[in-house]
Amino acid sequence: MKNRSAISGILQMRCPQCREGKMFPANTLYTTQFMKMNDRCACCEQPFTPEPGYYFGAMFVSYALNAAFFIIVWLGMYLLMDNITVTDMIIALLIVVLGLLPITFRLSRVLWIYIFVRYDERENYKHELNS
């Protein structure tokens, strides 16, 4: 087992405690199941939903991510295109936000749980011993 950094764990959507187990089932990103989340880490048994309503705060993370996408797309279109209309910008923003919705949803949940659940090297060590 390699020692993943927090950024690597977040981008790969791994368990915050051991950074090994996957938080979401495989091959469900751009399907109707993109919101489905594993109940527990397969490696360390960390619950991914510690209490009801736990991910309510992830909504604020999602809002911040979407605001960043909005600013990037708006600035990119404004600086790179001549004669851009407000309608064109709104359409482009809708396409970007809706296209990135599954990623934004998952990433906001991963970031939220990484804030509250700390990495435990002992969990990673236990996993190596059991392998």
Q: Is 80 exceeded by the pLDDT of residue 113?
A: yes
Residue with tokens 């236990």: 126
Confidence of residue 126 (pLDDT cuts 50, 70, 90): low
**Does residue 46 lie in a domain region?**
yes
Is the residue at 70 inside a domain?
Answer: yes
Q: What confidence tens digit (pLDDT) does each residue in 23-54 have? A: 999 998 888 899 999 999 999 999 999 899 99
Domain hosting residue 47, numbered range = 6-130
Task: State pTM to two decimals.
Answer: 0.84
Task: Indicate the number of domains in the chain.
Answer: 1
Q: Report yes or no on 1 lying in a domain.
A: no
Q: Is 83 left (phi over 0), alpha (psi -120 to 50) or beta?
A: left
CB 53 within 8 A of CB 121: no
Residue 31 lies in a domain: yes
Q: Is residue 109 part of a domain?
A: yes
Instruction: Quote the radius of gyration of the chain (alpha carbons, Å).
Output: 18
Domain assignment of residue 53, yes or no: yes
